[in-house]
Structure 1
Amino acid sequence: VVGGNYGRGALVCRRGGDGPWGAPSLFTLGGANVGFQIGGKATDVVFLVMNSGGARKLLQSGVKLGVDASAAAGPVGRSAEGATDVQLHAEILSYSRSRGLFAGISLAGAVLRHDNDGNQRLYAHAVTPKEILIDGKVSPPKAAKPLDEMLAKYSPRGGSSFGTTG
């Protein structure tokens, strides 16, 4: 059986080692899988970009996870295949929660693409992932406040909240 996966999400980068989290940049994630499957599944995946090296790699168009950018399963409450980076040295930490018949997913080979149309809708004007993730030129929209609060509460190294606009 050949299947496909597709999803949408948000990338968020930390400002400095223990600094606050920045504004989210939207993306799509897609990949193919081959093998025996029964039923469907829905999986929520969160990627935390832990350093500027990881953020720069994600600025490339069509990044393949596990090939172009190193990703590790996050250290708490995750249900993803792969080793956990307990010392938090990975460029990207991934967390997932599966609903349905499967408990885990493999992200190896999945392709991450920027959702420029989604970013334009979120910020009400055209903005690039670089302006959001690296330059910090974009203030997080009001819609990102719940994400900010969750990251401030559960962030492995702490960090303070960012302000919101709008």
Structure 2
Amino acid sequence: MKKVSVVLCALVMSAGLIPVHAHAQDAKLTDRLNAAADVIDEVMATPDKGIPQSILAGAHCVVVIPAYKKGAFIVGGQYGQGAATCRTPRGWSAPVFVQLAGGSFGWQIGGQSTDLILVAMNKNGLQDMLKSKFKIGGDAAATAGPVGRNAQAGTDWKLNAEFLTYSRSKGLFAGIDLDGTVLSQNGDDTRAEYGADIPFEGVLHGNSPTPQNARRFVHTVAKYFIVSQDNH
């Protein structure tokens, strides 16, 4: 009888912890989405150093990784988590959660935290992003993006790049080389956000409504990534 009571108490305690854990998970995802919106707002607050209008207008998908961490002691490692949204005929999609991981080798000591923005510029980039996992620079061509809203960007990125990559560290915003890093869906967080194991392709194609906690992030992307009249 005593054993039964112990088991019942354990079950009751476990059940009580589930709502607390779920609330903490929701808060974590909301904070990440809001941080991603902050990154875009802060980058675009300085037009002469932001993403050029031609790139904003032509983007197919946007990935934001707030506080991407890179640390090194002989063997370097990089890791970050963020959110992605894609342009659809009905506007920008609800987000999926993603993670970016990679490594580097060499005699290096130090560490830094950097905000990252990845912009998919063509349908190939979009299709690559819809894969479960792919390597930047391998499965998808990437190049450091030009900076400055009125910048006269060269033609190489238009011809070759599926992704344009940007970084912001200590107030400086510039293109960055992310070759070798791997971008993949964070299935656990996407599942927690939508309450079910739904295909992330469907979310990015616009088949799921935007959750309340993600509306600010999606609206922020839509605010800046506007299709110009020249693209109609």
Give the TM-score category using the shorter length. 0.7 to 0.9
| CA positional deviation for 1:98 | 2.1
**Aligned counterpart for 1:146 among listed residues 208, 212, 216:** 216
The answer (yes or no) to whether the contact 1:73–1:93 under 8 Å persists in 2 is yes
Assess, with a 3 A threshold, how the Cα gap between structure 1 residues 69 and 25 changes in structure 2: closer, same or farther.
same
**Aligned counterpart for 1:2 among listed residues 71, 75, 85:** 75
Assess, with a 3 A threshold, how the Cα gap between structure 1 residues 120 and 111 changes in structure 2: closer, same or farther.
same
Higher helix share: 2
Assess, with a 3 A threshold, how the Cα gap between structure 1 residues 3 and 48 changes in structure 2: closer, same or farther.
same
The answer (yes or no) to whether the contact 1:12–1:48 under 8 Å persists in 2 is no
Aligned twin of 2:57: none
1:91 & 1:140 partners in 2: Cα distance? 26
2:154 & 2:192 partners in 1: Cα distance? 36
Aligned twin of 1:14: 87
Alignment of 1:9-158 (within 5 A): 9-15=82-88, 20-76=91-147, 89=158, 90-99=161-170, 105-134=176-205, 136-155=206-225, 157=227
The answer (yes or no) to whether the contact 2:143–2:176 under 8 Å persists in 1 is no
Moved over 4 A (4+): 84-88
Structure 1 residues not aligned, in runs of 5+ = 78-83, 160-166
The answer (yes or no) to whether the contact 2:138–2:180 under 8 Å persists in 1 is yes
| CA positional deviation for 1:153 | 2.4
Residue identity matched to 2:221: L
Structure 2 residues not aligned, in runs of 5+ = 1-73
1:75 & 1:105 partners in 2: Cα distance? 10
Q: Is the radius of gyration larger for structure 1 or structure 2?
A: 2
1:9 & 1:137 partners in 2: Cα distance? 20
Aligned twin of 2:53: none
TM, length-normalised to structure 1: 0.74
Residue identity matched to 2:217: L
- Count of aligned pairs between the two proteins: 148
Assess, with a 3 A threshold, how the Cα gap between structure 1 residues 125 and 99 changes in structure 2: closer, same or farther.
farther
Assess, with a 3 A threshold, how the Cα gap between structure 1 residues 37 and 23 changes in structure 2: closer, same or farther.
same
